[in-house]
Amino acid sequence: MVHEGLFVGPASSVYKFAGSILHCARDPWFEDVKDRAAGKNWVRIKYNELALNMVDANSPMYFPDDMINAGLEFITERFAEGDPVLVHCNMGLSRSPSIAFLWMFEHGFLDDEFRYALPQFKDLYPDYCPGNGIWSYLKRRCNDGKAPVEFEYECQGIGGNSGCGASATEQVKVFGPVVGQTEWAEQIVHVCKTHKQELNAIKRKILEK
């Protein structure tokens, strides 16, 4: 819980949650809805369930304001109905905590300066590790025209759940299991120098074969 009634987590947290649910992941929640309006980046699944067409893309252009706002308004609306709200994505590292952060930031539950609000949120949710796209989006939306804010990434490792927590200075593309899902997918992760070297060694071995 990052705020009274506001929960953040990975895909596995969905099945045991009693309350309203905001899915911040395209696959499978948004994809699975058959009768979606064309061109609309969110869909109301039930009165207490909304899915956003959100992928952890590398560019902020994949995070349009109207989609993000639909998610934020859903949280506000469900709170007004007295429901607890779970905001989740696949891993609970980037997309869903970013939306929870944004809701808290814009409702005055964090410092009103982005650069101070961010470490406050990270104290509440230590796993927070925004991908480049959503991070650029947040910087533009929350820090418009102010002093630049850097984010210290932690190593996510090169396989599911293999992050070592060291400072991540590199970025690599891996093909690995998406936590909470059965399929494998290509993803960009932040890693430490050691993990990047490890990945390069694996790639070299594959090429030698």
Closest CA to 89 of 55, 58, 59: 55
C-beta closer to Zn ion: residue 64 or 159: 159
Q: Are strands 20-23 and 85-88 parallel, antiparallel or unpaired?
A: parallel
- Interface with Zn ion in residues 99-128 (CB under 5 A): none
Site for Zn ion contains 164 (CB under 5 A): yes
Least distance from Zn ion to the Cβ atom of residue 196, Å: 8
Least distance from Zn ion to the Cβ atom of residue 190, Å: 9
Q: Are strands 170-177 and 184-191 parallel, antiparallel or unpaired?
A: antiparallel
Query: If you ran DSSP here, which 8-state letter would residue 30 be given?
Result: I
According to DSSP, the residues that pair with 160 across neighbouring strands are none
Query: If you ran DSSP here, which 8-state letter would residue 158 be given?
Result: S
Closest CA to 97 of 61, 131, 46, 66: 131
Least distance from Zn ion to the Cβ atom of residue 69, Å: 35
| Residue 174 to residue 35: CA distance in whole angstroms | 33
Site for Zn ion contains 155 (CB under 5 A): yes
Tokens 């059965």 locate to 182
Stretch that binds Zn ion, among 12-20, 75-83, 124-132, 152-160 (CB under 5 A): 152-160
Least distance from Zn ion to the Cβ atom of residue 171, Å: 12
According to DSSP, the residues that pair with 190 across neighbouring strands are 171
Stretch that binds Zn ion, among 16-24, 27-35, 84-92, 154-162 (CB under 5 A): 154-162
Site for Zn ion contains 139 (CB under 5 A): no
| Residue 160 to residue 27: CA distance in whole angstroms | 17
C-beta closer to Zn ion: residue 41 or 156: 156
Binding mask 171-200 for Zn ion (x = CB under 5 A): ---------------------x--x-----
State the residues that interact with Zn ion by CB under 5 A.
155, 164, 166, 192, 195
